[in-house]
Amino acid sequence: MGKIISNFSDFYRPNKQQEEDTLSESAFQAYWLLEESLLSQNIDLHLELGSKNRVMLFKNEFVQVLVNIINNAREQFEEKGIVDAQISIKSYDMQNIAVMEISDNAGGIDEEIVDKIFDPYFSTKFDKNGTGLGLHMSKNIIKQHKGGKLYVENIQGGAKFNIEIGISGEEDEK
């Protein structure tokens, strides 16, 4: 519990510093934070973490992005009554980019709204206290990581969120 409190207090600290790490390590941290609650809801979280590229991260903010995406999938499983709920987190390296894919089998995102989900104040959950800021903030956080990108696509049976971040190098140390 102390580690969780420390992580959340670091998240709001104004003088935060980037640290060098891998996307895989952040995925492990998000898994650790959510493991019990996902298991209690019979949600299978599968990790396939192959990225070894070192990237500069605002680590706690990055973990919060992962937690937000996973929690959105969890809410979709519940809303749609998905019995065999599965989330997959995959990381790999592609030249000078570290890539993470977070996919689920919650039925995907309605094509009419898929282009709006990163817009500020856009939510399908206003009746459940949704603010429409979670994915918007997540996209902005990822942009702070060496021109990082966060985008989504529908896949067979679900949705896949893609994160791409440039690897760290000499220009990061200046």
Under DSSP, the state recorded for 173 is G
Query: Which residues on neighbouring strands pair with residue 159, listed in sequence order?
Result: 154
10-14, 80-84, 91-95, 122-126 — which is least confidently predicted?
A: 10-14
CATH superfamily ID and name for 19-173: Histidine kinase-like ATPase, C-terminal domain (3.30.565.10)
Interval 56-74: pLDDT, tens:
999 999 999 999 999 999 9
Q: What is the pLDDT of residue 1?
A: 42
Dist CA 152 CA 163 (whole Å) = 9
13-17, 59-63, 114-118, 165-169 — which is least confidently predicted?
A: 13-17
- Please provide the average confidence, as pLDDT, over all residues in the chain: 87
DSSP 97-117: EEEEEEEE-S----TTTTTTT
Whether the pLDDT of residue 164 is over 50: the answer is yes
Dist CA 104 CA 97 (whole Å) = 23
**Per-residue pLDDT averaged across 77-88, rounded?**
95
The residue extents of the domains of the chain are: 19-173
- Rounded percentage of the chain residues whose pLDDT exceeds 90: 73
**Per-residue pLDDT averaged across 151-161, rounded?**
97
